Amino acid sequence: MGKRWLKERKREYYYRKAKKMDYRSRASFKLMQIDDKFKVLPRGGAVADLGAAPGGWLQVAKERVGPNGKVVGVDLQRIEPLKGVVTLQGDILREETVESLQEILGGKADTVISDMSPNISGSYSTDHARSVELCSHALDFARKTLRTGGSLVMKIFEGDMMGDFLTEVRKSFSMVKLHSPKASRSRSSEIYIIAKGFRGEPDTGAAKAADEE
């Protein structure tokens, strides 16, 4: 990272605000703005945060669900401890990590949130495809973990595969919208999928029968 990049980052409004308010990441404000608009973090609810390091979203989730809520986070990197939050170091793409996370939750989640991003390769089409893949894993986890009526929030890079992926998300949720919070950088290609009203896993058998008719 160059000195110029670091200088620009330090001047950035949300970066300075996060430092001042003791949030671990400027991304904290993205989740705040999403929740202010869509009410995805219910008081007393259970939240699973995928790709949670360094913990900015965990901080916001815990504040919003309150002392009676449960917040669990997982990441490939170690997450520094946060009061009232349970963290797990592991790969959400591996089944054993999924099972461990569900065991820690101890039941169904009200909300699954994912700010996961691929390692940037420099090839936009590659990065977009990897982003869709990560979102597919988040969707799979949500289908296994959410209670009926639950919510899913996940970051995706815009691109030509997004339309088909949104169609897949709509199979399980009654409301699906795209949203770009003000805290996102203006030059960023990221956008957030907000899915509410979880209906359960899609009936693949019925879908297959319909395709064969």
Q: How many CB atoms lie within 10 A of CB 190?
A: 16
Residue tagged active-site, from 37, 155, 177, 182: 155
d(CA 6, CA 36): 30
Alpha-helix residue ranges (DSSP H) falling in 40-123: 56-65, 95-105
Q: Over 50: is that where the pLDDT of 57 sits?
A: yes
The answer to whether residue 11 is domain-embedded is no
Q: To 10 degrees, the CA torsion angle through 8, 188, 42, 109?
A: -120
The answer to whether residue 175 is domain-embedded is yes
DSSP 94: S
Is residue 59 within 8 Å of 23, Cβ to Cβ?
A: yes
171 assigned to active site:
no
Max avg pLDDT among 26-30, 72-76, 117-121: 72-76
The answer to whether residue 22 is domain-embedded is no
CATH number of the domain that 65 lies in?
3.40.50.150
- % of the chain with per-residue pLDDT over 90: 72
Q: Mean pLDDT across the stretch 132-144? A: 96
The CA distances from residue 37 to 40, 49, 181, 182, in Å, are 9, 19, 9, 12
For CA atoms 197, 140, 180, 61, the dihedral sign is positive
Q: Over 90: is that where the pLDDT of 3 sits?
A: no
User: 24: pLDDT confidence band, cut at 50, 70 and 90?
Assistant: confident
The answer to whether residue 33 is domain-embedded is yes
User: 102: pLDDT confidence band, cut at 50, 70 and 90?
Assistant: very high
The answer to whether residue 41 is domain-embedded is yes
Q: Mean pLDDT across the stretch 12-33? A: 84
> Which amino acid is residue 142, in one-letter code?
A
Q: Over 90: is that where the pLDDT of 174 sits?
A: yes
Into how many domains does the chain fold? 1
User: 140: pLDDT confidence band, cut at 50, 70 and 90?
Assistant: very high
The closest alpha carbon to 113, from 77, 142, 144, belongs to: 142
pLDDT for res 187: 67
Query: What token pair was written down for 179?
Result: 């949203």
Alpha-helix residue ranges (DSSP H) falling in 42-179: 56-65, 95-105, 124-145, 162-170
pLDDT for res 45: 97
| Owning domain of residue 50 | 27-212
The answer to whether residue 104 is domain-embedded is yes
The distance from CA 153 to its chain's CA centroid, rounded to whole angstroms, is 5
The answer to whether residue 199 is domain-embedded is yes
The answer to whether residue 201 is domain-embedded is yes
The closest alpha carbon to 190, from 134, 142, 109, belongs to: 134
d(CA 52, CA 116): 8
DSSP 79: P
pTM: 0.87
